[in-house]
Structure 1
């Protein structure tokens, strides 16, 4: 078994970023993905460099704060105030696919200008599985930039979307474990995943939201104190020992 433990939302606040970097240093977080439209993104990049982290994913978003491009350029996916809609189900079904593609590409290019290496793409709130057209946009960007992407299809029962990812031929993990109904990752769930897959050749991703909570975070996200629970779990030394003793290989997306 090869295991990716990915921390979403790098850059949402510097405190979240600091917690993620601690989890990568002292725990078993192997990768992270950045919200590049956050005001704390660039200061978080400085923290990453200081920690010796030179690569990560881009956490593409059309559901957090404002677009990287001018709102007038992406009018079909922003509200009258120029903000992204807060949830995928609020994005108008009449969205302009070229506007989405342009905004997501702008987010990627914003990330690349920092000099960090992009090693995968994933999506905030799993918006890629809104419909087949949206998934095709994200798949196309992963192909264009030649990076792996997350298996967001694990969060849907729509077989067409699952088939669409498989048919793309892109680099993906074999399984993604992420429970959108749970505010934090549960230790018993992680142990059951490890027990299920430890003697296989599968690549499995466990996604979570570790980090430190503060008042700034509480104004931005419904997940706050739960992030500290995730961080504590991903730094649990008993679990870390379990992983090592069973020769489970911890990898980042760069090893796919």
Structure 2
């Protein structure tokens, strides 16, 4: 069994970025994905480079803050104030595919301008599965940039979306262990996942949301103190010995 423990929301705030980096350096976090449209982008890139992190994913985003592109160029996916809608369910079904593609490509290109290597892409709030056409855009970007993507098709019952990923040739994990209704990491989930798959050759991703909390985070995210709980769990030193004992190989998306 190969296991990716992937931290979402790098760059959300400086404190979140610092927490994720601590988990990568001292704990069992093996990869992370970055939000590129926050004011903490540049500082978070600096922190990553100082920590010796040379690669990570991009956390494609249509549901937090403002777009990278001017709001006039992406009118179908922003509200009257030029902000992204806060939930995937609020994004108008009449979204313009060209605008979505342009914005998401701009987010990836901004990340690449940092000099870091792109390991994979995934989506904030799982907006990729809100519509088959949206999912197709994410797949096309994964192909264009030749990177893996998160196995988001497990988040929907839509058979067409499931078939798109299976037939695309895009690399992904065999299993995504994610219940985004319970965003906090649970020790029991980690232990049970290992017990279930340790005798297999499966590659598993467990997403998480670690980080340190500050006042700014409380104003922009409903997920606050839980991030520190996630981080403390992933920093437990017993995990490294446990993984080795169970024959688990910890990897990043770049190793798919």
How high is the TM-score relative to the length of structure 2?
Answer: 0.99
- SS of the residue 1:184 aligns to: coil
CA distance in 2, matches of 1:161, 1:242: 36
Shift of 1:158: 2.0
For the pair 1:62 / 2:65, whether they are aligned, the reply is no
Tell me the secondary structure at the aligned position of residue 104 of structure 1: helix
Partner of 1:119: helix, strand, or coil? Answer: strand
Distance 2:154 2:243 in 1: 23
Q: Secondary structure of 2:85's partner? A: coil
Q: Hey, what's the Cα distance between the residues in 1 that align with 2:179 and 2:213?
A: 20
Kindly report the root-mean-square deviation, in angstroms, between the aligned alpha carbons of the 2 structures.
0.8
Whole-Å Cα distance in 1 between the matches of residues 178 and 232 of structure 2?
A: 17
Aligned residue for 1:29, secondary structure, equals: coil
2:46 corresponding residue in structure 1: 46
Structure 2 Cα separation of the partners of residues 162 and 239 of structure 1? 33
Matched, 1:198 2:183: no
Q: C-alpha offsets along residues 200-224 of structure 1, whole Å, 9 cap, x if unaligned?
A: 1110000010000111101111101
User: What pairs up with 1:17-28 in 2 under 5 angstroms?
Assistant: 17-28=17-28
1:111-146 CA distance string (max 9 Å, x none): 000000001000000000011100000000000000
Q: Gaps spanning 5+ residues in structure 1: where?
A: none
The aligned counterpart of 1:106 is: 106
d(CA) in 1 for partners of 2:157, 2:235 = 32
Aligned residue for 1:122? 122
Equivalent position of 2:227 in the other structure: 227
Q: Provide the residue aligned with 1:182 in structure 2.
A: 182
Deviation at 1:240, TM superposition (A): 2.6
Task: Determine whether 1:12 maps to 2:12.
Answer: yes
Distance in 2 between the 1:55 and 1:79 partners?
Answer: 33
More off after superposition, 29-38 vs 244-253: 244-253
Structure 2 spans left out of the alignment, 5+ residues: none
CA contact (8 A) 1:154 1:176 kept: yes
2:148 corresponding residue in structure 1: 148
CA distance in 1, matches of 2:159, 2:137: 18
Q: Is 1:154–1:177's contact at 8 Å kept on the other side of the alignment?
A: no
What is the DSSP-based 3-state SS (H/G/I as helix, E as strand, rest coil) of the residue aligned with 1:128?
helix
Q: Which moved more, 1:104-113 or 1:229-238?
A: 229-238
Q: Which residue of 2 aligns with 1:215?
A: 215
- Structure 2 residue matching 1:6: 3-state secondary structure: strand
Quote the offset at 1:238 in angstroms: 2.4
1:31 is matched with which residue? 31
Q: How far apart are the structure 2 equivalents of 1:243 and 1:20?
A: 20
1:159 is displaced (CA, Å) by 2.2
- What's the CA shift for 1:185? 1.2
Asked whether the 8 Å contact 2:183–2:208 carries over to 1, the reply is no
Instruction: Kindly provide the CA deviation profile for residues 2-49 of structure 1, in whole angstroms up to 9, marking residues without a partner as x.
Output: 100000000000100000000001110000000000111110000000
